Chains A and B, each alone.
Chain A
């Protein structure tokens, strides 16, 4: 029977997870991805990755410290966070995450502290407040054993896989939201996490005036691989889902079919990804113009950060607007207060503040695989491969 129905009366169903969740997923992905980008040099001793690792560690620690604050803020009862440990429910991915997250945080803090400790020790005799802070944070003058750093670093890597797994699974198991309920979501979080991390390091390479050419080359390669991986995952999601009328692809197509904003989102996301991929490939292939091009790759970094953040916004916020029982779409204007715009800006502000504080007090440019203060003086200016003729934009 052919019929037309009009829904006369239905309540509003507001979103339940606020933009804080986007901030958490964004920062924690940056955290684990930058940890893996720092790992070759800092944990496994590959010298040619050291400049990248130094920038990555700065990004990693700052993101790791701020991410749990955003997560806490997304609780409606943040002061009850201790209930996670008093009444842990191992049936819940979120509860599993609440066990992994502090272990991960502590291992990252331990790793970065050990990597920065020799340089901090070298600063112990610095005048004024810097010397005081250096003496206080470096905890004595004893050497930092490399083996301990490696052990803590490997532990951090293991915990980070737990973070990748739980953050993805937590969202992907929700059958009530077909757009989340797909095996391809967790790997997509990881792939876009690496895109964002590579982008952030390109940007940091610029704004910290490090301007290292090898950093740019390495990050562009990571970006290329991660963008390709994201494309493969997206293609697999579409192809695998075509045959499943109840699945997330069908839901996605239905959402887009009746909504201009979803169609625009899909278009914008695809265009951004293609721009990023083509731009990265162009810079990598065009070796003759490299010094000039490299002074502009931070722009690709910005595009990558935009892509990673937008993906999380669409997945976590926009999907909550897709009505499950009522007709049409739920409309959500970002509120100005702490559960909206202020929360987003506040998290970014806090993150920036943490990075600036680290930059003020910690000689993060001298991060190394442990050792003693004496190693630091010997090794200054070891990185001579800076981008030439490109110091005026920072």
Chain B
């Protein structure tokens, strides 16, 4: 074996051995699945939302206004209101329960560290957003969110979610869902500002407030007032009527899906 080949072999061997260690060393430093550093947004603020369920009438105005404001594709929602009919088996009394759902802008968001390209990130004001120019559409975040708050937008083919209408907040406006809520059930604000309505309500109602799926340790920042603890995790319920069929047995309501 001539010298050049031998030295080449040696270098190749070193290269292979070195390369072999790259993933191992990066594993050690990476702190895999830990939260990356927050960026952008106002570090002096922490946005949160309080939903006063006592005021919610389930009109879905928030669902519709959000859909229009953020141009979500048909059948996919950044926010929506789950509606339940609850029957007391002892008395037979009926009640309805409304549960507005949206991104919880968690303090420990499971969707953020999984993003392989840091397209989804948490701003310093706590809002979790997606950079749709960077997103590769791997949908890892969609699976990682326990609240089903994310979806793949069929038009952009990237991850999509509630942003607390960050674009409106920056313009001094309220998010579309808050603006359109007829009962004033949704209260958004800066939780670092002790004079804000949300801070005062958190101080006032304290332990009455509940968050969704607290056992997942995501530390949600959407708080529910007037919540029934049976609905904090996936409620035990009979399924919704998902498909409405027409006379020909064809499903109605989704004829525009994909457009």
Contact = CB atoms under 8 A, between A and B. Distances in A.
16 contacts: A5-B238, A6-B85, A6-B87, A12-B242, A13-B151, A16-B152, A76-B139, A77-B136, A87-B118, A89-B113, A92-B140, A94-B116, A95-B117, A99-B23, A162-B23, A327-B235
Contacts of B82: 7, 9-10, 325-326
Contacts of B166: none
Given A8-B240, A174-B143, A324-B146, A94 B114 contact: yes
Given A16-B142, A145-B9, A151-B13, A325 B101 contact: yes
A6 B84 contact: yes
Contact of A91 (B30, B86, B143): B30
Contacts of A174: 110, 114, 143-144
Q: Which 8 A-B pairs have the closest CB atoms?
A: A76-B137, A328-B239, A16-B139, A90-B30, A176-B146, A16-B142, A95-B116, A5-B237
A324 B114 contact: no
A12 B75 contact: yes
Given A328-B239, A328-B240, A89 B143 contact: no
A93 B140 CA distance: 10
A241 to B, nearest CB: 16
Interface string A327-346: 11101000000000000000
Contacts of A147: 9
Interface in A111-164: 145, 147-148, 151-152, 154-155, 158-159, 162
B158 A77 contact: yes
A175 B87 contact: no
Given A4-B89, A95-B117, A327 B238 contact: yes
A89 B236 contact: no
Contact of A8 (B85, B115, B145): B85
B86 A327 contact: no
B58 to A, nearest CB: 8
B255 interface: no
Contact of B27 (A75, A80, A88, A96): A96
Nearest to B63: A11
Contact of A7 (B1, B147, B216, B239): B239
A5 B85 contact: yes
Interface string A173-187: 111110000000000
Interface in A62-116: 74-77, 80-81, 83-84, 86-96, 98-100, 103, 107
A324 B157 CA distance: 23
Interface residues of A, number: 67
B12 A151 contact: yes
Contacts of B17: 151, 155
B12 A77 contact: no
B43 interface: no
A100 B83 contact: no
Most chain B Cβ neighbours within 10 Å, of A2, A16, A81, A173 = A16
A84 B136 contact: yes
Contacts of B147: 324-325
A323 B36 CA distance: 29
A5 B235 contact: yes
B228 to A, nearest CB: 10
